[in-house]
């Protein structure tokens, strides 16, 4: 399973806000801060059983609205608590009727302008990372799963936001670095002491950010203002491909904010077939969009009532699982089956039905245009350019990267570092000459 939860930085990502919960990369556990009166309590969801269930972990919970939680693959929940210029980290776990807590340490942030947050759940689920963004540099911390406690792994010049894992080993991390008033995506190699390389540079004066990455297919979801200066657009590319980034018109929804939050895994060598889950926020509320690069359209579906907005995971078989919480079902998962994935009826399958819905309770808000494809004003052209924005040239500044085995060791890093995948820059051809099938 692939799950991604985007937490946009205010003023940077242009997204719809933080996700309702964090889910491990294998989809077995989730965690959120559940409302409990005037405060919030860490809550762990178990998702790999016949029915999902939740366990609250009170007693020493963070309690502050700005604290964060993140599940690990062994079922423990990492908690971040800010306190007086420091951020303490602990692991919570159920112990019969109570809650056990294992303190991990603290990261000091004496500068009041420094902001610290957790990165998205890492592949494998055994480790957790945090990003400390200071006035002039950004530090990547290992805050759980390390052999020697909390560890500073890398320091990147500039202020960084975002965070997407490019490989299954949790080594290659994509960040959006702001330097000189512009944001460009870079890749940080945590296995080589934080060695940094450029990842996405579409134009000299554009802001180019990576939102999601799928290690199986290499699909990248990006946000950039290169095709429309001053206006962010969603685009897609393939890690390691010589094809440039595309900006489909189907992803431009009038008066709506579109944020991708999950990519279908297991589509090896066929990134254009990957289903991408979109959170669509408009005047009528939030709903689900599903898009594939090959189809060049967005299918709209109503979100389940109580959806923890921005949270969800795909299975390799093409089921989108959406966690939700209502008064009747405090811990539930709605399964969205997209047309063309299997022979079952498409639409939402909400489980578990704890009891019949109460009188007057809504099952789910309707999407403004109903379920089905969103047209772009006409049928998409089979040749591609009718739906995708065509830039004249990239002026030699568009850079993509191919993850290939590194050549023989050059003496830098350990012996294991020489055989691990590393970014190799590729020069891009003019966009107008290339067609994506």
pTM of the shown model: 0.79
Residue 293, pLDDT > 50, answer: yes
Read off the pLDDT of each residue in 5-11 and give the average, rounded to a whole number. Answer: 39
**What number of H helices and E strands is found in the chain?**
0, 31
Q: In a 3-state reduction of DSSP, which class is residue 271? A: helix
Quote the CA–CA distance of 113 and 137 in Å, as a whole number. 11
Quote the CA–CA distance of 172 and 190 in Å, as a whole number. 6
Percent of the chain with pLDDT over 70: 71
Predicted confidence at residue 84, as pLDDT, reads 82
Percent of the chain with pLDDT over 90: 60
Quote the CA–CA distance of 368 and 286 in Å, as a whole number. 10
Predicted confidence at residue 387, as pLDDT, reads 62
Residue range 132-142, pLDDT digits in tens: 999 999 999 99
Residue range 161-192, pLDDT digits in tens: 999 999 999 999 999 999 989 999 999 999 99
Read off the pLDDT of each residue in 75-98 and give the average, rounded to a whole number. Answer: 92
Among candidate residues 268, 265, 222, 273, the one with its CA nearest the CA of residue 245: 222
Task: Give residue 341's pLDDT band: very low, low, confident or very high (50, 70, 90).
Answer: low
């Amino acid at each position: 399973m692939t799950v991604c939860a985007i937490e946009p930085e205010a003023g940077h990502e242009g997204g719809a806000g933080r996700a309702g919960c964090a889910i491990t990369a294998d989809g077995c556990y989730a965690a959120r801060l559940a409302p409990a009166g005037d405060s919030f309590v860490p809550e762990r969801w178990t998702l790999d059983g016949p029915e999902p269930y939740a366990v609250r972990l009170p007693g020493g919970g963070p309690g502050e609205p700005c604290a964060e939680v993140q599940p690990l693959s062994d079922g423990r929940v990492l908690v971040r608590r800010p306190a007086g210029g420091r951020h303490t980290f602990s692991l919570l776990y159920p112990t019969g009727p109570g809650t056990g807590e294992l303190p991990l340490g603290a990261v000091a942030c004496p500068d009041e302008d420094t902001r610290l947050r957790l990165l998205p759940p890492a592949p494998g689920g055994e480790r957790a990372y945090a990003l400390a963004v200071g006035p002039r540099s950004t530090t990547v911390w290992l805050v759980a799963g390390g052999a020697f406690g909390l560890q500073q792994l890398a320091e990147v010049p500039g202020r960084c936001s975002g965070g997407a894992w490019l490989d299954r080993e949790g080594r290659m991390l994509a960040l959006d670095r702001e330097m000189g008033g512009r944001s460009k995506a870079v890749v940080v190699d945590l296995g080589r002491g934080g060695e940094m390389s450029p990842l996405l540079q579409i134009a000299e004066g554009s802001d180019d950010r990576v939102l999601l990455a799928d290690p199986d297919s290499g699909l990248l979801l990006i946000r950039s203002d290169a095709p429309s200066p001053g206006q962010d657009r969603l685009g897609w590319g393939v890690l390691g491909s010589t094809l440039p980034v595309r900006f489909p018109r189907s992803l431009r929804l009038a008066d709506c904010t579109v944020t991708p939050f999950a990519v279908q895994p297991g589509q090896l060598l066929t990134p254009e077939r990957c289903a991408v889950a979109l959170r669509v926020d408009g005047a009528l509320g939030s709903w689900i969009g599903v898009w594939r690069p090959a189809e060049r359209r967005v299918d709209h579906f109503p979100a389940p009532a109580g959806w923890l907005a921005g949270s969800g995971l795909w299975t390799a078989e093409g089921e989108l699982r959406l966690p939700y919480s209502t008064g009747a079902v405090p811990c539930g998962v709605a399964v969205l089956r997209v047309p063309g994935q299997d022979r079952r009826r498409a639409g939402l399958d909400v489980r578990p039905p704890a009891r019949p819905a109460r009188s007057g309770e809504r099952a789910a808000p309707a999407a403004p245009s109903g379920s089905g494809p969103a047209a772009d004003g006409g049928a998409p052209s089979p040749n591609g350019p009718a739906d995708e924005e065509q830039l004249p040239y990239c002026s030699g500044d568009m850079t993509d990267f191919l993850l290939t085995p590194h050549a023989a060791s050059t003496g830098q890093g350990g012996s294991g570092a020489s055989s691990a995948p590393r970014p190799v820059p590729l020069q891009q051809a003019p966009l107008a000459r290339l067609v994506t099938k």
